[in-house]
Structure 1
Amino acid sequence: MAYTANPTELSDLHAFDEDLRAIRHHIHQHPELAFNEQATASFVADKLKDWGYEVTTGIGQTGVVGSLRVGAGRRSIGIRADMDALPILEETGLDYASQHQGVMHACGHDGHTTMLLGAARHLAQTRRFDGTLHLIFQPAEERGFDSGATAMLDDGLFEKFPCDYVFAIHNHPGMPLGQMLFREGPFMAAGDRVFIKVKGVGGHAARPHQAADPLVAAAHIVVALQTVVSRNVDPDEAAVVTVGRLLAGQALNVIPDSAEIGISVRSFSTEVRVLLKKRINEIVESTAAAHGVSADIDYVEGYPVLVNDAAANELAISVARELLPADQVVAETKRLMGSEDFAYMLQRCPGALVRLGNGPATDGRGLHNPKYDFNDNNLVIGAAYWSRLVETYLACSEKA
């Protein structure tokens, strides 16, 4: 018979609220970039050891896994939080703002890590589960390629720490505070990056006929790329091709000899992802040739589509419905064009990513913005949610 007495409620974590805020502020003040999270990893590992976890460090360079086994249950569950920050100069003006110039937690990974630490402490104290819990603190989610998820997987993450399911949370500015957002199947897009160098022949601005202008060619490439989605992708599909960089020249009287274009490409299906790559390459090469210049293309395939397992997603929703008011649970939210390297873990182990509303994103306070800050009022919600999820999946046999 499943153990149901005294499952975790939000009120159970209220006593931790002040401590969780202090932890989050400490991590926020000491942000570290991808694969440089030594201090953060050490901080996490020390906390887990103090609470009785078996701790393994150095998984995926700076990753940490804390394991706790209770009872004789054979089930196992993994929960992942990311630890890295971004190369952004903080402009929040907070008294706990980043002490590392040009580096800040502008995506809320300080909050993700703190919520999981809160659950770790509570679960170690209550031990109301029967099975194995693996807490995965991952580096380098923001890297965009060769990320922390792949590094941990390459180090044998799920071979060393087998999980029936693995879960993660990412905060979501612009949605109501504490609202949990779910979606079965494809949830977040694949994210690819394209680096193009258009090479021509430079010259004097007064004698353009003696040059091969790469800037004009680059401008035509940028315009032509706007047709990739509008004229090549099925309107029932979703895709984005965004040119985020166009660099060329310095002096007004000089035609440069090269121009650089940077593109972000997003998609949800393998077929569309292949089509986008094909058309982008064709447009760049043919447009460059038409203008008498050449183009070098470095097409970097980034994170894959994040796909939530149906059973894991349903489990995640059921726990949220038990813990939160009905209007705080959105069971079928929209797909998101952002990308997440947790997708790699979901390719190897079934599980689900949950989005957690962070409140208004006014005054530019969205993700990756120098004014962004994780909402501390979510710390208890996230910690309580993780605790109850673990208790639900690793349900104990009722004691006599």
Structure 2
Amino acid sequence: MSDTSRIEALAGEVAGWRREIHRNPGTGFDVGPTAALVAEKLRGFGFDEVVEGVGRSGVVGVLRGRRDGSRAVGLRADMDALPIHEQTNLGHASRVPGKMHACGHDGHTAMLLGAARYLAETRDFAGTAVFVFQPAEEISQGANAMIADGLFARFPVDAIYGLHSLPGLPVGHFATRPGAVMASVDRFEIRVEARGAHAAMPHQGVDAVYVASQIVVALQSIVSRNLDPLEPAVVTVGAIQAGDAFNVLPDSARLLGTARCLSPAARDTIEARLAAVAEGVARLNGAEARVTYDRISAATVNHAAEAAIAAQVAGSVAGEGNSEAAMPPLMIGEDFASFLHERPGAFAFIGNGDTAGLHHPGYDFDDRAIPAGIRYWVGLVEAA
């Protein structure tokens, strides 16, 4: 059982690490300052192994407990920031123009470092704890890069766990669920090729803007008419690019969007129908549509046994009524899904309170969640 007072006493120092990470964000695989800080801290804590450059810029630390046991547990935190210009005006705001920790990864990394410090000092657990600090989560490439670099062959684990900040959930509360907890993430691009004309003579051309608009509307039929009404799914067009003059019908248009769902069958249906709808609407209007559909990351699916462990630990940390074991799934995505394809595990959320949303320029991780996050990580290791 973790020493709550000891963790509370450590929380202020961990908050300082978090704010230092926040001031020096890096995106994608370019997380040098954060990775260096992580590696330095782990070595200073006396870890048995610290390996840098896993999956290009990830860091892995290995810590062995003093109790008998062979079980190995993986704990993962993401380190990368987003290409967003911060608008918080905080004293620890980003020093890097156009980059900020708008998704809580600074807090995730700091909390896991806090657990690493505590567990290195106590070693009151059986088996091995493997601390995985991952780059490039926001571009859905870091997990696969670490796996391809032999993460689980070099650092075997029996299960792996992830934790993410969640605005709207009270600070320090937890939520998780068995099964699909987050959606798959796909990206699509539709290019409409039409025939330009003067805006006053539309009959002499084929209006790419009109065709693109019809496609946007028609795509909504995929979720409403091609999927089971009880199957959660989203098809969203986030950008339309066409023309640059008020009196010209452009000859082309470009649509960018995303599709999200929880099951492989729904994913297959959306991909097939999206192409059929876009191409059919364009052809009906005398234009042509070319569709590119990219599968970015799979749905994040928690394993039942590990989700139960995560819920039990979270409940013991947060107290009765402050942890949800059957939360509704979210339609956001996470490349932690790739880890769960390789090993059993579970992903959970820790509350950030009534704050700006994830990926918002006004978001900041709430340091009051740090003690609960540390205790959660420690609890998972000690429960093994």
Q: Check whether TM > 0.5.
A: yes
Larger mean Cα displacement after TM superposition, 10-19 or 59-68: 10-19
Write out aligned runs for 1:130-209 (5 A): 130-144=126-140, 147-209=141-203
Q: Which runs of 5+ in 1 are unaligned?
A: 1-6, 394-400
Return the offset for 1:264. Answer: 1.1
2:56 aligns to what? Answer: 61
Give the distance between the partners of 1:372 and 1:391, measured in 2 at CA. 32
Q: Which amino acid letter does the alignment assign opposite residue 117 of structure 2?
A: R
1:89 equivalent in structure 2 = 85
Q: 2:369 aligns with which of 378, 386, 390?
A: 378
Aligned to 2:348: 354
| Cα separation, 1, equivalents of 2:230 and 2:12 | 48
SS in 2 for 1:26: helix
1:175-324 map, 5 Å: 175-324=169-318
Contact kept? 1:76, 1:133, Cα under 8 Å: yes
The offset of 1:169, in angstroms, is: 0.2
Match for residue 397 of structure 1? none
Compare 57-66 and 289-298 and name the one that shifted more. Answer: 289-298
**Structure 1 residue 244, shift from structure 2 partner:** 1.0
| Matched-pair contact (CA < 8 Å) for 1:9–1:323 | no
**Displacement of 1:208:** 2.1
The question of whether the paired residues in 1 share the 8 Å contact of 2:64 and 2:123 is answered with no
CA distance in 1 between counterparts of 2:32 and 2:21 reads 12
**Aligned-partner Cα distance in 2 for 1:380–1:175:** 16
Letter of the 1:57 counterpart:
E
Query: SS at the partner of 2:296?
Result: coil
For residues 226 and 385 of structure 1, what CA distance do their matches in structure 2 show?
Answer: 41
- Would you say the 8 A contact 1:187–1:306 is kept in 2? yes
Query: Do the aligned residues in 2 keep the contact of 1:239 with 1:267 (CA within 8 Å)?
Result: yes
Name the counterpart of 1:75.
71
Stretch of structure 1 that moved more, 236-245 or 341-350? 236-245
CA distance in 1, matches of 2:118, 2:218: 55
Aligned match of 1:342: 336
- For residues 246-269 of structure 1, the C-alpha deviation after alignment (integer angstroms, 9 at most, x for no partner) is 111111012212111112101111
Aligned equivalent of 1:121:
117
Spell out, residue by residue over 1:124-148, the C-alpha distance to the aligned partner (whole angstroms, 9 max, x if none): 001101211110000001004xx10
TM-score calculated relative to the size of structure 2: 0.97
TM-score w.r.t. structure 1 length? 0.94
| Letter of the 1:331 counterpart | A
SS at match of 1:74: strand
3-state SS of 2:234 partner: strand
In structure 1, what residue type is equivalent to 2:275?
N
Q: Residue 101 of structure 1 aligns with which residue? A: 97
Give the match's secondary structure for 1:187: strand
| Contact 1:186 1:306 (C-alpha < 8 Å) held by counterparts | yes
Q: Secondary structure at the match of 1:98?
A: coil
Distance in 1, matches of 2:315 and 2:233, equals 32
8 Å contact 1:119–1:384 — kept in the other structure? yes
**Alignment-derived partner of residue 396 in structure 1:** none
| AA at the equivalent of 1:109 | H
Q: Aligned to 1:120, what secondary structure does the other structure show?
A: helix
For the aligned residue pairs, the C-alpha RMSD in angstroms reads 1.1
* Bigger mean CA offset, 218-227 vs 312-321: 312-321
Shift of 1:182: 1.4
Given that 1:172 and 1:358 are in contact with CA atoms closer than 8 Å, whether structure 2 keeps it comes out as yes
Match of 1:392 in 2: 383
User: One-letter code of the match for 2:130?
Assistant: H
Cα deviation for residue 199 of structure 1 reads 1.3
User: How far apart are the structure 2 equivalents of 1:14 and 1:36?
Assistant: 32
Q: Which runs of at least 4 in structure 1 moved beyond 3 Å after TM superposition?
A: none
Amino acid at match of 2:325: A
- Could you tell me how far 1:379 is from its partner in structure 2? 1.1
Q: Which runs of 5+ in 2 are unaligned?
A: none
Counterpart in the other structure of 2:108: 112
Kindly provide the amino acid, as one letter, of the partner of residue 64 in structure 2. R
CA contact (8 A) 1:188 1:338 kept: yes
Counterpart CA distance in 2 for 1:163 and 1:142 is 24
Contact 1:194 1:297 in 2 (8 A): yes
Q: Residues 81 and 101 of structure 2 are in contact (CA less than 8 Å); yes or no, is this contact kept in structure 1?
A: yes
Aligned residue for 1:24, secondary structure, equals helix
**How many residues end up aligned between the 2 structures?**
382
Q: Are residues 1:50 and 2:41 paired?
A: no
Q: In the alignment, is residue 369 of structure 1 matched against residue 360 of structure 2?
A: yes
Higher mean C-alpha displacement, 383-392 vs 318-327? 318-327
User: In 2, distance between residues paired with 1:324 and 1:18?
Assistant: 19
